[in-house]
Amino acid sequence: MRFSLCCISFVWLCCYGVQNVFAYKIPQIKLELIGDKFNVSIPDEAGIENVAFNINRNRPFKAFEQGEFSGRVSTPIDNRWIFESKRHLRDDDTIYIWTDVQFNKNRFRAMSTPIVVSETLTDINEVINDNKSTVTTETPPAIDPRTEKCEPALTKIRDRNVCRGELLFEENFNGNELNVTRWRYEVRLPLDNADAEFVLYDTNAEITNGLLKIEPHIWGNDSPDADIRRGSLNLGARCTAYQNPDIECRRQPFGRVVLPPILTARINTKHAFSFKYGRVEVRAKLPQGDWLYPLLLLEPHANLYGQQAYASGQMRIAFIRSNLQLQTQSGTEMGGRLLNGGAVLRPEAIYRNAFMVNTSRDAHFGETFHVYTLTWDDRRLSFEVDGQKYGSIDGGFAQHEVGQNYAWTSGNYMAPFDQEFYITLGVAAGGHGDFSDDYLSKPWANTSPKAALNFWRDRANWKSTWTSPALVVDYVRVFAI
């Protein structure tokens, strides 16, 4: 009996010890901005001996690997374990962190929830030093008073409750200037990736008589002395690059590298409005002209599944290849009479139609205004034009052989389309991803390092087709579902 009691006592002590060892749970990381620097921290707790932070900017961790910024902290300051970096963060950066904590001689590791810089809220009472500036966001606008019963919606907007059928966003482009509280220009060169378009995005949109007009122009208006192989381009402080400023903000022609042949515009609501699930309506007249295409997009706000190669997805509310006539080698018509809607999950041209639905008309979609609608819910994407549904795409992208991405298995059935997205409007030209090499009369090959130069050299053939090259938008509306 004495032996049994001793054993019972020993087991109880062991269990108690194990409980203490594994009771520690790494808390959520706190992010703070300090001028041109930032720090991350966790609160101190009795038993913590040191803490290591590994941090990636706009790139999720695949495992417990070394981060873009990393360091081990051996002493807490003001009851927090703090790691400081001298890197400046942009409002649209997403920060990924994993933490290693030595607690009572044991090691604990955990991935933190991704932190979107523009959404980070810090309690003023928790600020460590008076000279630290914390990141805040604007208070979401209140829901308009409603007399009818508010039915819960599938749609989510951060911390705001919405009602089914509620008009969440409406832009009618009144006035003479872009509403900067809703829209911002992208001023940048496209990244030099597998589908980079042949353009420079700048601030050349116009608003007149309640219409947004984005019209692309040939470099230097194709004056006799214009040459994309000479000169240099540096966007300076105006540049809105968010991945690689060396590529997106500057270009010096040499060899096969040329200046962008086309000047155009691209605007978005990333800083002001994003949502998860809903119905989007855009009334627009699409561009007409060879090798142009409209950008009526929903793009990921936080890029939680990664920033490269459409890892976090892109939704196309409406898309056409704006050529007046465009045929494949087999005679299939792919020009402006064929309307597409769908998802982009890979950069390569050969995969562009894998998640697209389409409908065709006798007339080019740039001849007149149409209402383009995307309904996005937790099971599928559905597409309409002028109130007529023409197709839908079911979720389950993580299991699809073309779109498969391991990171999506951590999301729901619609991953990567299970996060908040924002609205983008613009016009692009050329590129390596939206025009297959199977198209007749295409003056460049997608794999050619001279693609943009060859496109430019063929302008005598395509510029005469740019009779109505502008994207003209009447309104944009988003409704809760």
| Predicted confidence (pLDDT) per residue in 179-210, tens digit | 999 999 999 999 877 789 999 999 999 999 99
Phi/psi of residue 20, nearest 5 degrees: -65, -40
Assess whether pLDDT exceeds 60 at residue 15.
no
Residue 303 neighbours by CB distance under 10 Å: 25
**How much is the pLDDT for 62?**
67
pLDDT at 426: 98
- β pairing state of 211-214 and 471-479: antiparallel
Sorted by sequence, the CB contacts under 8 Å of residue 23 that are 6+ apart come out as none
> What is residue 9's predicted lDDT score, i.e. its pLDDT?
33
pLDDT band at 148 (very low <50, low <70, confident <90, very high): low
| Among the ranges given (11-15, 289-293, 403-407), the one the predictor scored with the smallest mean pLDDT | 11-15
pLDDT of the residue at 225? 79
- As a whole-number percent, the residues of the chain with pLDDT over 90 amount to 67
Q: What is the mean pLDDT of residues 305-317?
A: 92
User: Which residues fall within 8 angstroms of residue 45, CB to CB, at 6 or more apart?
Assistant: 24, 103
Q: Is residue 346 within a helix (H) or strand (E), and if so which, with residue range?
A: none
**Predicted pLDDT at 61:** 78
Q: Look at the alpha carbons of 426, 430, 436, 439 in this order and tell me if their dihedral is positive or negative.
A: positive
The residue-averaged pLDDT of 124-149 equals 38
Task: Grade residue 24 by pLDDT with cuts at 50, 70 and 90.
Answer: confident
347: DSSP letter: S
Q: Which domains does the chain have, with CATH numbers?
A: 27-126 (2.60.40.2140), 167-479 (2.60.120.200)
If you average pLDDT over every residue of the chain, what do you get?
87
The confidence score (pLDDT) of residue 129 equals: 36
Query: What per-residue confidence (pLDDT) applies to 197?
Result: 96
Q: Which pLDDT score is estimated for 172? A: 95
pLDDT at 140: 37
How many Å apart are CA 289 and CA 431, to the nearest integer?
15
Q: Residue 13 CB: number of other CB atoms within 10 A?
A: 10
Which pLDDT does position 120 carry in this prediction?
Answer: 67
